[in-house]
Amino acid sequence: MLENYFPILLFILVGLGFGCAPILLGRIVAPHKPDSEKLSPFECGFEPFEDARMKFDVRYYLIAIIFIIFDLEIAFLFPWASIFQEIVNTPAVKLFGFIEMFVFIGILVLGYIYAWAKGALDWE
């Protein structure tokens, strides 16, 4: 009965080996020269030990929102691309499928051009 579980145990051990071996190898082989600059946490380009109530630059939020928008664009494009062959081969859906995706991409391109024109993508 227990011999049926041996492949599972072997799989777990090999997985742990593949996960832990690079960490241990890096710890053994890599040079270890810590200094205060390397050990300090990095928080979006600001000094890590300042007042917690300081004003935060809005550009970080704008870049994050733009990233989320383009990430969602990809989330909508993948399912469309996965059924692309079906869209092309179905006469009733062929034209609608293309128009629908071009409208979607067109709206995103207009938003991108608007953000570019307003300077939301410029970093000083």
Q: Per residue in 30-58, pLDDT tens?
A: 888 888 777 776 655 566 566 667 676 77
Inter-axis angle of helices 91-117 and 58-82, nearest 10: 170
- Judged against a pLDDT cut of 70, whether residue 124 lies above it is answered with no
Q: Per residue in 67-120, pLDDT tens?
A: 887 788 888 888 888 888 888 888 888 888 888 888 988 988 898 898 888 887
This prediction's pTM: 0.48
CB 124 within 8 A of CB 103: no
Q: Specify the pLDDT at position 33.
A: 83
